[in-house]
């Protein structure tokens, strides 16, 4: 039996006009000094003329140009060869010379996941507001996480809201509090629980902030005769671990489509890829949103996790344990028998299940499914978090077959024992056709998370790693093929 697939006509395409303000980083101190020298030599009249031109060309493209330029001035002011007071106009012009625009989705807008919006207050009866997360890729092939919103109407029709006027990166800072117990365990997992680390931890309370940690590290370095904590192998790893756990805050008034999570932590500086969002029900009945994603530092790709309650504040955290390997971790939307549950891929071929009593530590993966049908002979993986239905856990899968063609299928797991596979797709539900086959990586359809609503499955998917569409399937028809 074939499942009817209805493709939504509207497609989300990358827009090079969506630009983000970013620091223009120059690492050569002598070059920075020369640039500052040239700017300091300008007359005040010339400075005012040049800054007016900057604002004329860029203020309509960003919500907070003045504030951003001021921050970039503060970043380089230490390289000035004077303590003399300078005008606010000159400070902003200096900031402009160390700023740039970044077209975050100029290359691709793909690998989506879909979750219910936390605010359904103005939604018509029978309809559902949703959030679509997307992998936006721009210059240098750096990927960030962006968002769109929309509505599924009572009749099953789907619409996208127009994106906001601006793009904003939010305020990034180190986490306010680290738990010593968890921090110690992470250091131990990474093989960094050496005597200096023990000395640092001994100086800290059960909970501590980044500033307290930095002071303790500096004190331990002095005692050990280490001059530069950032350059010492023993202490650099402690600070890198702390910086990999951070939060991003956005202004309340900013529309979600204007918010972008741009790589910040040391493990993800070259990309935050393929976020799999899930609305997670906690044991007290409240909900929190998690997303597992792949952090890429230019050499190594490792899984990480973020959490948010309101899509205004996001907390990024490291994941640890021997089972945290490979890409494509996908968290179940609730605990099972008192434990967190996660799908994983340990070996580039098979789907595994793992349990843990702690969200950030994973140890024992157990095999669920191996490539079985020709369309998945090369590789089998998940396409997002499992969806709980009365019949079981619905897992969308991706398979790689001949000619490296990616297709999307499904399998059904037992609700009480997800290690038991009830059924799985013998044939793919979705394969790239027509124009979908053309793109950055041809012949690929891929998703990071679907949404079930009113008897339908809404499956957002990337087309050849470049653009994003949505397919709609009848759940009864789909489940009938998995019996």
* Six-digit token string for 17: 């006009």
117 and 73 share one domain:
no
- What distance in Å separates the CA atoms of residue 120 and residue 126, rounded to the nearest whole number? 11
* Six-digit token string for 45: 């009249």
Give the pLDDT band of residue 93 (cuts 50, 70, 90): very high
Domain that holds residue 218: 176-243
pLDDT at residue 35, rounded to an integer: 97
pLDDT at residue 316, rounded to an integer: 96
115 and 229 share one domain:
no
pLDDT at residue 434, rounded to an integer: 97
Q: What SS3 class is residue 458?
A: strand
Q: What is the pLDDT of residues 224-271, one digit of tens each?
A: 888 777 777 778 889 988 989 999 999 888 999 999 999 999 999 999
95 and 136 share one domain:
no
The model carries a pTM of 0.94
Q: What is the pLDDT of residues 170-219, one digit of tens each?
A: 999 988 789 999 899 889 888 889 999 999 999 999 999 999 999 999 99
pLDDT at residue 1, rounded to an integer: 65
| Average pLDDT for 413-439 | 97
pLDDT at residue 92, rounded to an integer: 98
- What distance in Å separates the CA atoms of residue 427 and residue 182, rounded to the nearest whole number? 44
336 and 196 share one domain:
no
118 and 97 share one domain:
no
| Average pLDDT for 374-383 | 98
3-state helix, strand, coil in the chain (%, to 5): 25, 35, 40
Give the residue from 56, 71, 103 where a domain finishes. 103
> Which of 59-73, 174-188, 365-379, 389-403 is least confident?
174-188
| Residues paired with residue 110 on neighbouring β-strands, in sequence order | 135
* Six-digit token string for 192: 């960094």
Count the neighbouring beta carbons within 10 Å of the beta carbon of residue 87.
Answer: 12
pLDDT at residue 191, rounded to an integer: 84
| Average pLDDT for 63-69 | 96
Residue with the bigger pLDDT between 253 and 71: it is: 71
352 and 416 share one domain:
yes
Give the residue from 243, 268, 295 where a domain finishes. 243
What is the Cβ-side half-sphere exposure of residue 59, based on CA atoms within 13 angstroms?
A: 9
Which of 71, 242, 80 has its CA nearest to residue 171?
Answer: 71
pLDDT greater than 80 at residue 33: yes
92 and 118 share one domain:
no
- What distance in Å separates the CA atoms of residue 274 and residue 384, rounded to the nearest whole number? 10
For 110, phi then psi, to 5°, come to: -155, -175
What is the chain's mean pLDDT, rounded?
95
| Average pLDDT for 42-61 | 97
pLDDT at residue 375, rounded to an integer: 98
| Average pLDDT for 441-446 | 98
Q: Total domain count for the chain?
A: 3
| Residues paired with residue 291 on neighbouring β-strands, in sequence order | 277, 306
Q: What is the pLDDT of residues 127-174, one digit of tens each?
A: 999 999 999 999 999 999 999 999 999 999 999 999 999 999 999 998
CATH number at residue 330: 2.115.10.20
93 and 231 share one domain:
no
| Average pLDDT for 396-418 | 98
287 and 405 share one domain:
yes
261 and 356 share one domain:
yes
The H or E element spanning position 110 is strand 108-116
136 and 41 share one domain:
no
pLDDT at residue 109, rounded to an integer: 98
| Average pLDDT for 105-119 | 97
149 and 194 share one domain:
no
425 within 8 A of 372, measured Cβ to Cβ: no
- What distance in Å separates the CA atoms of residue 28 and residue 432, rounded to the nearest whole number? 47
pLDDT at residue 60, rounded to an integer: 95
Give the residue from 224, 243, 262 where a domain finishes. 243
327 within 8 A of 295, measured Cβ to Cβ: no
411 within 8 A of 397, measured Cβ to Cβ: yes
- Residues in CB range of 245: below 8 A, 6 or more apart: 174, 175, 178, 265, 315, 316, 317, 318
Q: What SS3 class is residue 277?
A: strand
């Amino acid at each position: 039996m074939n499942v009817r697939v209805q493709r939504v006509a509207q497609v989300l395409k990358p827009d090079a006009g969506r630009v983000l303000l970013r620091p223009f980083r120059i690492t050569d101190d002598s070059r920075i000094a020369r640039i500052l020298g040239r700017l300091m030599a300008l007359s005040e009249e010339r400075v005012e003329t040049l800054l007016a031109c900057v604002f004329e060309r860029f203020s309509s493209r960003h919500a907070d140009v003045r504030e951003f330029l001021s921050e970039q001035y503060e970043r380089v002011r230490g390289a000035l060869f004077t303590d003399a007071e300078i005008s606010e106009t000159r400070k902003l012009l200096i900031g402009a010379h160390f700023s740039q625009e970044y077209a975050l989705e100029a290359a691709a807008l793909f690998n989506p996941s879909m979750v219910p919006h936390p605010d359904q207050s103005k939604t018509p009866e029978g309809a559902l507001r949703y959030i679509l997360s997307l992998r936006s890729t721009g210059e240098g092939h750096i990927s960030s996480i962006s968002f769109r919103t929309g509505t599924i109407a009572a009749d099953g029709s789907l619409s996208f809201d127009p994106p906001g006027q601006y793009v904003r990166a939010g305020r990034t800072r180190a986490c306010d509090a680290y738990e010593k117990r968890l921090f110690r365990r992470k250091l131990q997992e990474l093989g960094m629980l050496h005597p200096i680390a023990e000395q640092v931890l001994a100086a800290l309370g059960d909970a501590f902030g980044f500033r307290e940690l930095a002071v303790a590290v500096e004190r331990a370095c002095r005692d050990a005769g280490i001059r530069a904590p950032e350059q010492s192998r023993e202490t650099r790893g402690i600070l890198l671990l702390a910086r990999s756990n951070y939060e991003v805050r956005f202004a309340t008034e900013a529309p979600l489509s204007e918010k972008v999570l741009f790589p910040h932590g040391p493990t993800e500086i070259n990309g935050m890829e393929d976020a799999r969002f899930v609305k997670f029900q906690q044991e007290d009945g409240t909900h929190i949103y998690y997303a597992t994603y792949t952090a890429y530092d230019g050499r190594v790709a490792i899984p990480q996790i973020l959490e948010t309650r309101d899509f205004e504040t996001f907390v990024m955290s490291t994941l640890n344990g021997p089972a945290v390997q490979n890409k494509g971790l996908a968290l179940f939307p609730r605990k099972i028998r008192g434990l967190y549950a996660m799908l994983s891929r340990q070996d580039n071929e098979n789907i595994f299940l793992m349990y843990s009593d702690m969200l950030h530590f994973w140890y024992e993966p157990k095999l669920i499914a191996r490539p079985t049908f020709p369309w998945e002979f090369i590789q089998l993986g998940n396409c997002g978090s499992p969806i709980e239905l009365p019949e079981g856990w619905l897992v969308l899968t991706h398979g790689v077959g001949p000619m490296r063609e990616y297709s999307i299928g499904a399998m059904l797991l037992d609700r009480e024992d997800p290690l038991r596979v009830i059924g799985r797709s013998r044939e793919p539900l979705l394969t790239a056709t027509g124009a979908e086959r053309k793109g950055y990586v041809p012949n690929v359809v891929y998703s990071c998370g679907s949404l079930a609503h009113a008897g339908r499955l809404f499956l957002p998917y990337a087309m050849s790693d470049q653009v994003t569409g949505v397919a709609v399937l009848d759940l009864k028809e789909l489940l009938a093929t998995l019996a």
